[in-house]
A and B are shown apart, each in its own frame.
Chain A
Amino acid sequence: MSSSTTPEQSSPPFKLILHCEDGSPPYLTPILLAKNFPTTNRVVRDHLVLGIEVRNSFVSPVYGPRPSDRKNGRKKEKDEKSPPASRQGSNISNNDSAMSSVACSITKPTGYTFSGRPLFKHLGIPNDYDVMACPSFDLIDNCVADMPVAATNAETSLSTPRGYQRITPELYRDVVRKMEAPSFVGLYDQASSVKNTKRARRSVERTKSWLATTVSDSVTDKEEEVEGEKTDPCPKMWAPVVGEEDMALRLECIHHAINQKAPLRGFALIGIHHVGDRQARNTLLQSCMKDIPRNMSCAVLVANDMVQILDAARNGVRYIGSALPTNLARCHKALALDLYGWRRYHENDEGERQRVNMCRRIEERSTLGDGCISLDDGIFVKDTVPFVKDCSCLACTHHSRAYVHHLINANELLAQILLFVHNLHHVLAFYDEMSQATSMEKQDIFIAHIEKQLMIRNLQAL
């Protein structure tokens, strides 16, 4: 990441909530994380937040007598009286054999639940990184086989590596307290389709009622004394805002949270990426942002592509979550946008002015590219240049397109590692440039510059 441009940021910077599936930064061992994305680097410090899901990082086994043991009491009695044939003659008493059969049950979990523990230690993340915890980035995305999200007024189900596990607001509050996360999103319910108005209404009601439970205690940092002065506690909690495409439901969530008068870090807009129509998505974002107090931040937990990131930023959302670096790496793609050309914009250039004006009118563009080069393309077999010229990431400074192309063909994991390192580097630089453009009141120019490149389907032609 280039630190050569002096940031002129009078507005808060944009922050990437990097989706950390499994609780660790994707593909990054501690050495790679420390080397390539250290918090001593300004861009990392200003723009990177690690997003951790409770659903796959804080699941713990439960041990105890199996329900079948309690039901089959008669079978257990029988086992105690007559030890298995293999043990006969081994001088094992009846009691010992009974103990053996119980011990066998204990070593295998009888179920799973959620339990909190200090996340930095548990997940091996250095504690100087900013972290946002949440139940899940999106409940609907985690549903299996299009099944609806299963919830009651008392609890919801989270999809975990051990299957669906139930969690109550009280349990979630306990878990996040023990996690000691710098910030977290409250527990929420989510309706798969707003067309089922009753289900959508219930999801909002549950989210509102669970908000009170989760925010009730110990959700602010303890007041600290620094050189004799007390620092203001920093709210930890993000209030979830659900309702899919229904603007009224979303605004209801926001107003309810505001009326709680509880200390909140901001509002987390859930499921915005499900709104397929770009105009509708932008309208929804605008409306939500109008009602969110200016002194509070807004987060979009999931933005699937550059267009969604740009739309969120355009509407003033500062925290934008995404798994884009990871997903592109899995598809063997490297981001290759020119991030700095907007600085060369001249107001007298008619063509550029038209481009900026067009950007101001949100249009549905169905042919937008992804700003990437596909390293599995055969044209890169002998291409010994870096992914992107002048990129300072580990992949570009030490490796070539040809090498990564070979790794992809050889089905080597290193291909995705290098692509991810490059993509994350590129996205953070993107957020940095976007922040600087916004501070300089040239956000429209920046967005137009990026969208112009996204119009080109095949960036390899550049």
Chain B
Amino acid sequence: MSSAKPSPAFPPPKDYTKLPDELQDVDFTKRVSWRKFHPYPPPEDTNDTAAATGTAASSSSSSPQSSSTTGTSPHLPYVPPGTAPVFTAASPALCHHVHATSGRARATTVHLPHGSVPTPVFMPVGTKGSLKGLTPFEITSDPALDCPIILANTYHMALAPGTDLLGEVGGLHDFMGWDRPILTDSGGFQMVSLLKLALITEEGVTFENPFDDDVDNNDNKNDKDDDGPDAEDIGQSSSSSTLAAGTAPSKKKRRMLLRPEDSIRHQNLIGSDIIMALDDVVSSIEQDDERFTVATYRTLRWLDRCRSAHANPKTQNLFPIVQGGLDTAVGGLREKCLAGFRIRDEWVPGYAIGGLAGGESKDDFWRVVDQCCRALPDDKPRYLMGVGYPLDLVVCTALGVDMYDCVYPTRTARFGVALVPGEAPGTLRLKSNDCSGDDSVIQEGCECQACKNGYSRARLH
């Protein structure tokens, strides 16, 4: 596969924990935020030239959050639902209309090249170019589903069928027969989920192909040379602080190097409406503070590389992903990452919040989401990655998140668990013997195919 643009010169490893030059003048004694509207307080940072313009709102109760507000924020201009999108030179592939707010929650529409997406929205995950067991026809024609947007995974699509093929056939939309928007992840999450198979360096991430094994069944070593560099070469090009916690890739497995340029090239070939910047993802329960610092600053450098490599800015929207671990302190890593995004805001159509849903406590989780929503501009969509538990969806929507994705509903279904309202945990285990003679449907009044067509719990059991 031909590679994308060559990588730029890398900073020396000793600079990995050094504050990026563009952030030297930022006042980190104050909270970072920009273009905030009611009910958020105005930005504290007086250097924010992107502060909301327009007439100030009529007097309203002061925000309880900040004691240093210089005034009240104006209301976000509402656009009536159904208004046709207007794509501009600054945002040629995304138009964001806010229709209403309730506290910090918003009802919006994100207009994309392949269609419009009302929010809050949950995006089901079609990792390998299909939602498990569902045809695109069912997803769009079933009123209980009618998903306006789905997710695909760059790492998996690059493995199979390969993004060059997708480019040849016109992109993933045509390949899978899906005519609505698609969002692709950058492959960054696999740094965490496949950590034992990954080696992270400033250049990018080297993955072992989890589906490829040169070792035969008798455990006899295969003497053939594989295609990639061996482990010693990879180790020499990276600092020890950036080595993944897992074992370095073995010599015998085929490896895939995913640089920011490669990730963007793959996503360009996939043709998705929203593409994600490759970020340096660290598990939220990691104990190494230096690792978080390195990852946060590297995420900013990789964002610039992603933008340089992006070949379709007029048809595909590149979202950066806020990192920084669980450090929500004033001047902490999350603030630094947000400050870096604020500087780049001019060409950014929307933002994602990452590095969560990895086992951290709920208090830490919500605190990070809260901080990011307070900081990120209100007139752009906010996407919280990897979140799908029902309670989390409700709470985070109340905090100001617009978009979500998670494998939880499809994965838990494969284990025979149905999501139901009522008492916690809100699940029904259909494999339980209690269901063996239960002729009622999963949930009365539910419009899904299973309940509407009378598939009883006993039958599903």
A interface residues, Cβ below 8 angstroms from B: 23, 29-32, 35, 60-61, 63, 107-109, 121-124, 381-382, 384, 394, 398-400, 402-403, 405-407, 409-410, 412-414, 417-418
Q: Which residues of B have CB within 8 Å of A23? A: 459
Whether B433 lies near A107 (C-beta < 8 A) is yes
Interface membership of B210, Cβ < 8 A: no
**Cα distance A325–B135 when bound, in Å?**
18
- Interface size band for B: 20 to 34
* A384, chain B: closest CB distance, angstroms: 5
Closest A residue by C-beta to B461: A61
Q: Which residues of A have CB within 8 Å of B175? A: 400, 402-403, 406
Contacting A406 at CB < 8 Å: which of B129, B131, B459? Answer: B129
Q: Which residues of B have CB within 8 Å of A402? A: 161, 165, 169, 175
Within 8 A of A (CB), among B147-182: 156, 160-161, 165, 168-169, 175-177
Contacting A410 at CB < 8 Å: which of B129, B131, B133, B452? Answer: B129
Q: Which residues of B have CB within 8 Å of A418? A: 135
Q: Which residues of B have CB within 8 Å of A124? A: 453-455, 459
Q: Which residues of B have CB within 8 Å of A122? A: 456, 459
**Cα distance A398–B175 when bound, in Å?**
10
Given A402-B165, A409-B160, 14 more contacts at CB 8 Å? Answer: A29-B138, A30-B453, A31-B137, A31-B141, A32-B135, A60-B458, A109-B433, A123-B459, A124-B454, A398-B177, A406-B128, A406-B160, A414-B130, A414-B133
Interface membership of B27, Cβ < 8 A: no
**Cα distance A406–B434 when bound, in Å?**
39
Contacting A417 at CB < 8 Å: which of B128, B135, B458? Answer: B135
Q: Mark B416-458, 1 if CB is under 8 A from A, else 0.
A: 0000000000000000011011000000000001001111101
* B244, chain A: closest CB distance, angstroms: 26
Main secondary structure of the interface of A (DSSP, over half): helix
* B153, chain A: closest CB distance, angstroms: 11
**Cα distance A432–B437 when bound, in Å?**
41
Q: Which residues of A have CB within 8 Å of B160? A: 406, 409-410
Whether B132 lies near A107 (C-beta < 8 A) is no
**Cα distance A35–B173 when bound, in Å?**
22
Q: Which residues of A have CB within 8 Å of B130? A: 407, 410, 412, 414
Q: Which residues of A have CB within 8 Å of B138? A: 29, 31-32
Q: Which residues of A have CB within 8 Å of B169? A: 382, 384, 400, 402
**Cα distance A382–B130 when bound, in Å?**
18
Whether B134 lies near A382 (C-beta < 8 A) is no
Whether A394 lies near B133 (C-beta < 8 A) is no
Known interface pairs A29-B449, A398-B137. Does A406 touch B161 (Cβ–Cβ under 8 Å)? yes
Closest A residue by C-beta to B169: A384
Closest B residue by C-beta to A405: B161
- Between A and B, 5 residue pairs with Cβ closer than 8 Å are A35-B141, A382-B169, A398-B177, A402-B161, A406-B175
Interface membership of B286, Cβ < 8 A: no
Whether B137 lies near A410 (C-beta < 8 A) is no
Known interface pairs A31-B141, A121-B454. Does A381 touch B161 (Cβ–Cβ under 8 Å)? yes
**Cα distance A330–B142 when bound, in Å?**
26
Whether B134 lies near A414 (C-beta < 8 A) is yes
Closest B residue by C-beta to A30: B453
Q: Mark B196-226, 1 if CB is under 8 A from A, else 0.
A: 0000000000000000000000000000000
Known interface pairs A35-B137, A121-B454. Does A410 touch B436 (Cβ–Cβ under 8 Å)? no
Whether B135 lies near A394 (C-beta < 8 A) is yes
**Cα distance A63–B437 when bound, in Å?**
10
* B132, chain A: closest CB distance, angstroms: 6
